Amino acid sequence: MKNRLPLCLVAFLLCSCLYQGAIAAETADKLISKVSLSRPSFNPTQKGKVELKYHLSRDAKVTVNVYDPDWALIRTIAKESAQKTGENTMTWKGVDDKGNIVPDEGYFFTIIAEDESGKKEIYDPTIFSGGVTHDIVDVKIDREEHTIDYRMPEMGRVMIRVGIQGGPLMVTIVDWLPRVKGAVTEYWNGKDKDGLVDLLNTQKAKMIVTYFSLPENSVITYGNRNTTYRSYKKKQGKAVTLKPDRGILTENISHHYKLPRTIDYAPELTVDFSNTVEGKDNDVVTLKGKTIVKVDLNKDDKEVFKNQQFEIAFFLDQTFYAEDEVGYTPFNWVWDLSQVEPGEHILTVNISGFRDQVGVLSRKVRIIK
What is the domain-level CATH number for residue 170? 2.60.40
**pLDDT over 70 at 73, yes or no:** yes
Going by their DSSP bridges, the two strands 41-42 and 147-152 should be labelled as unpaired
In a domain, 7, yes or no: no
**pLDDT over 80 at 290, yes or no:** yes
What is the domain range of residue 307? Answer: 269-367
The two most distant CA atoms of the chain are separated, in Å, by 107
How far is residue 111 CA from its own chain's centroid?
A: 24
More confident residue, 246 or 328: 246
pLDDT of residue 320: 96
pTM value is 0.89
pLDDT of residue 29: 81
Which band of pLDDT confidence, cut at 50, 70 and 90, is reported for residue 8? very low
In terms of domains, do 275 and 323 share one?
Answer: yes
pLDDT of residue 251: 84
**pLDDT over 80 at 221, yes or no:** yes
Q: Which of 213, 229, 258 is the last residue of a domain?
A: 213
What's the structural domain count of the chain? Answer: 3
Q: What is the identity of the amino acid at 303?
A: E
In terms of domains, do 39 and 118 share one?
Answer: yes
In terms of domains, do 123 and 225 share one?
Answer: yes
In terms of domains, do 363 and 274 share one?
Answer: yes
Q: Is 234 helix (H, G, I), strand (E, B) or coil?
A: helix
pLDDT of residue 237: 83
Q: Is 284 helix (H, G, I), strand (E, B) or coil?
A: coil
Which band of pLDDT confidence, cut at 50, 70 and 90, is reported for residue 253? very high
In terms of domains, do 142 and 38 share one?
Answer: no
What is the domain-level CATH number for residue 75? 2.60.40.4070
> What's the average model confidence in pLDDT over 77-104?
97
Residue 69 DSSP symbol:
T
pLDDT of residue 45: 97
In terms of domains, do 83 and 208 share one?
Answer: no
In a domain, 20, yes or no: no
pLDDT of residue 9: 40
pLDDT of residue 28: 54
pLDDT of residue 369: 86
Using an 8 Å Cβ cutoff, are 327 and 246 in contact? Answer: no
Which band of pLDDT confidence, cut at 50, 70 and 90, is reported for residue 303? confident
Q: Is 22 helix (H, G, I), strand (E, B) or coil?
A: helix
pLDDT of residue 281: 66
CB neighbours (10 Å) of residue 83? 18
Residue 23 DSSP symbol:
H
In a domain, 18, yes or no: no
In a domain, 4, yes or no: no
More confident residue, 268 or 278: 268
* Dihedral (Cα; 291, 296, 299, 301), 10-degree rounding: 160
pLDDT of residue 15: 38
pLDDT of residue 3: 45
Question: Which of these, 124, 51, 64, 130, lies nearest to 94 by C-alpha position?
Answer: 51
Q: Which residues are bridge partners to 149 per DSSP?
A: 140, 185
**Distances 21 to 7, 26, 27 between C-alpha atoms, Å:** 21, 9, 10
In a domain, 245, yes or no: yes
In terms of domains, do 361 and 341 share one?
Answer: yes
pLDDT of residue 5: 43
In terms of domains, do 234 and 278 share one?
Answer: no
Phi and psi, residue 65, nearest 5°:
-115, 150
**pLDDT over 50 at 16, yes or no:** no
In terms of domains, do 83 and 152 share one?
Answer: no
pLDDT in tens, 151-203: 999 999 999 999 999 999 999 999 999 999 999 999 999 999 999 999 999 99
- Which range has the worst mean pLDDT, 110-119, 142-151, 233-242? 233-242
- Which range has the worst mean pLDDT, 83-92, 138-147, 232-241? 232-241
DSSP labels, 40-52: SEE-GGGT--EEE
**pLDDT over 70 at 1, yes or no:** no
What is the domain-level CATH number for residue 274? 2.60.40.10
Q: Tell me what percent of the residues of the chain surpass a pLDDT of 70.
A: 92
In a domain, 19, yes or no: no
Using an 8 Å Cβ cutoff, are 326 and 247 in contact? Answer: no
Query: What mean pLDDT is reported for the chain?
Result: 91
In terms of domains, do 121 and 238 share one?
Answer: yes
In terms of domains, do 273 and 344 share one?
Answer: yes
Going by their DSSP bridges, the two strands 140-142 and 358-367 should be labelled as unpaired
pLDDT of residue 328: 85
In a domain, 285, yes or no: yes
- Angle CA 321–324–330, to nearest 5: 110
pLDDT of residue 26: 44
**pLDDT over 90 at 334, yes or no:** yes
CB neighbours (10 Å) of residue 140? 10
In terms of domains, do 240 and 276 share one?
Answer: no
Which band of pLDDT confidence, cut at 50, 70 and 90, is reported for residue 283? confident
In a domain, 22, yes or no: no
Spatial distance between the Cα atoms of 11 and 18, rounded to a whole number of angstroms: 11
**pLDDT over 90 at 19, yes or no:** no
